[in-house]
C-alpha cells in the first residue's frame, strides 16, 4: 500500500476532480460516509450521543457530513464549529448550509470562555468526532483550538479523528504543540506519512483507510515512492539443501569489551535460517564468544594495542570475503582509528554485498566516497545519531523530514539505507522508501541492531534479492520482537530475546503468512 505526502494527496484530489470528473462534493460525501461506517461498526448509532468538533476548512466539511449522517441514522448529535462559520468555502460551505437546515444543535465557539462551557456537552457524550484540522497543519496549535484539544484528551471519551488526529503534522507525524489522541482514525485516498510515522501513528489509534472512490490508477501511481513494508513470500527451503545452500556470511566484528555485538550478529544469521556463519574477530575475545555460539565458525585476527582488529589483517579478510556470499562489517568494532581505517579500506575493496552497521557507519561517515565507489551492493543500518553523522544534518532536522533526508542520502551514497527506529524506514537509491510496521518499543535495547544485520543477511542467504532481503529482514526482526513481547511484555526484552525468537518468527511467517500480512496492514473500508 502506498503512503503519500500532503502535496501528493492534494495532487490526487485535483486529479480525481479534474481528470476523472469526480465532483468535490462526492469526495467529501464519501469521506463522511467512511467515518460514519467506522462509527456504526465500532459503536452503533441509535441512542448514542455524538459531539462533532469541526474546523472551517475541508476537514471540518468532512465532519459536517459525518454529523448529518449520524443524525439521519438516529444519533443524538451536537456540532461545535471552531472559528467563523463564514469561512467555509466550496463543498464545506454547501454541506454546512444543508446541516443548518436540519434539526441539529450547532454551536459556534470563538473564545476561551465559550470553550469552558463545552465541558458539560463533552461529559454527556458517548463519542467525540474530531474534524478540527486536516493534514495541512504547518504551525503549532494555539488559542481556542489548543484548549478544545486538551479538553478532548482529558475527557476519557472515545474519539474518532477525521483523516488525521488534529495537531499531527501530515508530512512527518510530529505533534504540533498538542494533538488529539484518537481511538480510531479514518484517513482518505491514501495513508499520509503523518498517519504512519511516530508519534502520529500512536495518536491515530486504530487506523482505517477509505479510497473515497479514487480510481486505482491514482492511488497506485508509480510516482508515489513511499509504501508500507508488506510481507512477501519467502523462498521454500530445499529439502536436499546443505549449509552452503542457505547462504554463507562473514561477520567482521568485535573488539575488547564488545563481546555481545559480534555474537548477536553472527548467531542471528543462523537463527533466521542462514546456513554458514563465519566470524572474524580479535583473537583474544573469540574464546568468550565461542562459549555462547559454538555453531559459529571463528577466524581469529591480530589485534591493536586496545584489542580491536588491526589493519594488518586486511589481506586475510579480503581472502575470507571470497569464500562467502555476503559480508557484515562493523558490529562492536570500536572507534580505534586503525580499525576505522581498516573499515574504510575494506569497504572499497570488498566485492560482495556489504552490510555496514554500528562503528562501521562511523568509519565510513568520515569519507562517504568509500561507499559511493563500491562496485557491489551496500546496505547501511544507522540509527538517528549515526544518520546525522552520515548526512551532516542535526537529528532534529532529520526528524522533521525523515523520508526526504533518507532519499537524499540513498541517492548520494548509491546505497540501501535502513533508518532504524519506531517504524524503521528502508530507502533505496531509486527513491523508493518502505515503512516497516512490525516491532515494538521493547526492541529499543542494546544489541537489537546487531540481530538485525544477521537477519538481513539470512534473508539474502535464503534466496531473496538484496533489495528484498533488506526490507524483509527488517520485518522479520520486528516480528521476532513482537513475538517476544507477546510472551514477556515489552519491558525488559533484550537482544538475546529477539535472537531466540527468530526461529519462531520464521516459522510463523511461513505458516501463517496471510494472517501476518493482514495484521501488519492498514484496514480498508
- Distance, in Å, from the CA atom of 493 to the CA atom of 448, rounded to the nearest integer, reads 10
Element (DSSP H or E) covering residue 343: helix 337-349
d(CA 350, CA 353): 8
Question: How far does CA 11 lie from the centroid of its chain?
Answer: 23
Residue 71: the pLDDT is 97
Rounded CA gap, 167 and 176, in Å?
5
Per-residue pLDDT at 244: 87
CB 436 within 8 A of CB 227: no
How many whole angstroms separate alpha carbon 103 and alpha carbon 5?
38
87: its cell numbers = 469561512
Using one digit for the tens of pLDDT, what is the confidence trace for 392-419? 999 999 999 999 999 999 999 999 999 9
pTM of the predicted model as reported, rounded to 2 decimal places: 0.96
How many other CB atoms are found less than 10 A from the CB of residue 524?
10
The DSSP result for 188-233, as a single string, is ESS-BHHHHSTTHHHHH-EEEEE-TT--HHHHT-TT--EEE----P
Segment holding 377, helix H or strand E: none
Taking the C-alpha atoms of residue 124 and residue 126, their distance in angstroms, rounded to an integer, is: 7
Along the 525 residues of the chain, how does pLDDT read in single tens digits?
A: 999 999 999 999 999 999 999 999 999 999 999 999 999 999 999 989 999 999 999 999 999 999 999 999 999 999 999 999 999 999 999 999 999 999 999 999 998 889 988 999 999 999 999 999 999 999 999 999 999 999 999 999 999 999 999 999 999 999 999 999 999 999 999 999 999 999 999 999 999 999 999 999 999 999 999 999 999 999 999 999 888 899 999 999 999 999 999 999 999 999 999 999 999 999 999 999 999 999 999 999 999 999 999 999 999 999 999 999 999 999 999 999 999 999 999 999 999 999 999 999 999 999 999 999 899 999 999 999 999 999 999 999 999 999 999 999 999 999 999 999 999 999 999 999 999 999 999 999 999 999 999 999 999 999 999 999 999 999 999 999 999 999 999 999 999 999 999 999 999 999 999 999 999 999 999
Nearest Cα residue to 386 out of 436, 420, 415 = 420
- Cell numbers found for residue 274: 542462514
Amino acid at each position: 500500500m502506498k503512503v503519500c505526502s500532503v502535496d501528493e494527496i492534494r495532487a490526487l484530489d485535483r486529479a480525481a476532480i479534474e481528470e476523472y470528473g469526480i465532483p468535490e462534493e462526492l469526495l467529501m460525501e464519501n469521506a463522511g460516509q467512511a467515518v460514519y461506517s467506522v462509527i456504526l461498526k465500532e459503536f452503533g448509532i441509535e441512542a448514542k450521543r455524538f459531539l462533532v468538533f469541526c474546523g472551517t476548512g475541508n476537514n471540518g466539511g468532512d465532519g459536517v457530513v459525518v454529523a448529518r449522517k449520524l443524525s439521519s441514522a438516529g444519533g443524538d448529535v451536537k456540532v461545535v464549529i471552531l472559528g467563523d462559520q463564514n469561512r467555509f468555502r466550496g463543498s464545506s460551505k454547501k454541506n454546512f448550509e444543508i446541516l443548518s437546515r436540519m434539526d441539529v444543535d450547532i454551536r459556534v465557539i470563538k473564545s476561551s470562555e465559550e470553550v469552558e462551557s463545552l465541558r458539560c456537552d463533552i461529559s454527556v457524550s458517548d463519542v467525540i468526532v474530531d474534524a478540527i484540522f486536516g493534514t495541512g497543519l504547518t504551525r503549532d496549535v494555539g488559542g481556542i483550538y489548543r484548549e478544545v484539544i486538551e479538553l478532548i484528551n482529558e475527557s476519557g471519551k472515545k474519539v474518532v479523528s477525521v483523516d488525521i488526529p488534529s495537531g499531527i503534522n501530515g508530512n512527518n507525524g510530529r505533534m504540533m504543540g498538542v494533538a488529539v489522541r484518537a481511538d480510531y482514525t479514518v484517513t482518505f485516498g491514501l495513508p499520509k506519512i503523518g498517519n504512519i510515522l511516530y508519534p502520529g501513528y500512536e495518536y491515530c489509534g486504530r487506523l482505517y483507510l477509505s479510497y473515497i472512490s479514487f480510481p486505482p490508477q491514482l492511488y497506485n501511481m508509480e510516482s508515489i515512492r513511499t509504501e508500507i513494508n508488506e510481507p512477501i513470500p519467502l523462498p521454500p527451503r530445499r529439502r536436499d539443501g546443505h549449509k552452503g545452500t542457505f547462504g554463507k556470511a562473514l561477520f567482521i566484528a568485535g573488539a575488547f569489551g564488545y563481546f555481545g555485538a559480534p555474537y548477536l550478529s553472527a548467531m542471528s544469521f543462523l537463527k533466521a535460517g542462514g546456513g554458514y556463519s563465519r566470524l572474524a574477530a580479535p583473537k583474544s575475545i573469540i574464546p568468550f564468544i565461542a562459549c555462547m555460539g559454538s555453531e559459529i565458525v571463528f577466524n581469529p585476527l591480530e589485534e591493536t594495542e586496545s584489542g580491536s582488529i588491526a589493519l594488518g589483517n586486511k589481506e586475510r579478510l579480503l581472502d575470507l570475503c571470497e569464500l562467502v556470499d555476503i559480508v557484515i562489517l562493523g558490529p562492536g568494532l570500536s572507534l580505534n582509528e586503525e580499525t576505522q581505517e581498516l573499515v574504510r579500506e575494506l569497504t572499497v575493496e570488498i566485492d560482495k554485498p556489504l552490510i555496514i552497521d554500528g562503528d562501521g557507519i562511523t568509519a565510513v561517515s568520515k569519507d562517504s566516497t568509500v561507499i559511493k565507489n563500491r562496485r557491489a551492493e551496500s546496505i547501511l543500518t544507522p540509527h538517528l545519531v549515526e544518520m546525522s553523522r552520515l548526512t551532516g544534518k542535526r537529528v532534529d532536522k532529520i526528524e522533521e523530514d525523515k523520508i526526504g533526508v533518507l532519499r537524499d542520502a540513498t541517492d548520494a551514497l548509491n546505497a540501501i539505507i535502513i533508518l532504524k527506529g519506531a517504524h524503521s524506514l528502508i530507502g533505496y537509491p531509486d527513491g523508493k522508501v518502505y515503512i516497516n510496521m512490525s516491532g515494538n518499543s521493547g526492541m529499543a535495547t542494546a544489541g537489537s541492531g546487531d540481530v538485525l544485520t544477521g537477519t538481513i543477511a539470512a534473508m539474502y542467504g535464503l534466496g531473496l534479492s538484496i533489495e528484498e532481503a533488506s526490507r524483509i529482514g527488517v520485518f522479520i526482526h520486528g516480528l521476532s520482537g513482537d513475538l517476544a513481547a507477546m510472551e514477556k511484555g515489552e519491558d525488559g526484552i533484550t537482544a538475546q530475546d529477539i535472537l531466540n525468537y527468530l526461529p519462531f518468527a520464521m516459522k510463523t511467517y511461513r505458516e501463517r503468512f496471510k494472517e501476518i500480512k493482514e495484521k501488519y496492514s492498514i484496514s480498508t473500508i
